[in-house]
Amino acid sequence: MEIRVKERRNIIFSLLFMAAAMMTLAACGPDDEKKEDSPLNPVTPTGQTYQQSVTLDAHGSQQTVTLTDLKSKIDDVANSADWLTVLISTYSSGSPSLVVSAKENTDTKTRSCTVTVTAKSGDTVLLTVEQEAAEEQKTGIDDSHDIPTDKPAYSRIAK
């Protein structure tokens, strides 16, 4: 009977030792792994503000903008321009990116707006989007030969 008690103690001791060893090994890992923004491993907020800009042509265009200063995922995008659409691009390794699409600018003046991008880390990018002006439409009438005169442009034919 005494042997069985010793065997049980050895088995229990062995199981406890193996469980402790497995927990120790599971807790160990490389320290140089890239820190991912997650509830278990949050990115420390830094609160930095960065400036970036992009220029689009007047005909209505689309461009992907990589936000190189952001090191965590995008949390919010604020855009108040009705002529501009901003979409968050698929996030993979590296910096996040946006796809900006502008409607055609029919005005003869350049237009611009600022898109505010906030990352989960608290960093902000102020993205200035400028769209070129439309070209002035020519009427097709050549008025380069108009000479000012004090006489009417027509005359009466005498009978």
At 10-26, the pLDDT tens digits run 788 777 777 777 776 66
- Per-residue pLDDT, averaged over 49-64, amounts to 93
Q: 7-11, 49-53, 88-92 — which one is most confidently predicted on average?
A: 49-53
Let me know: does 36 contact 54? Beta carbons within 8 Å.
no
Three-state SS across 58-123? CCCCEEEEECCCCCCCEEEEECCCCCEEEEECCCCCCCCEEEEEECCCCCCCCEEEEEEEEECCCC
Structure confidence at residue 152 (pLDDT)? 60
Q: For residue 46, is pLDDT > 50? A: yes
Average pLDDT, the chain: 79
Structure confidence at residue 13 (pLDDT)? 73
pLDDT band at residue 138 using 50, 70 and 90 as cut-offs:
low
pLDDT band at residue 151 using 50, 70 and 90 as cut-offs:
low
User: Is the pTM above the cut of 0.95?
Assistant: no
Give me the domains of the chain, ranges plus CATH numbers.
49-131 (2.60.40.10)
Structure confidence at residue 25 (pLDDT)? 65
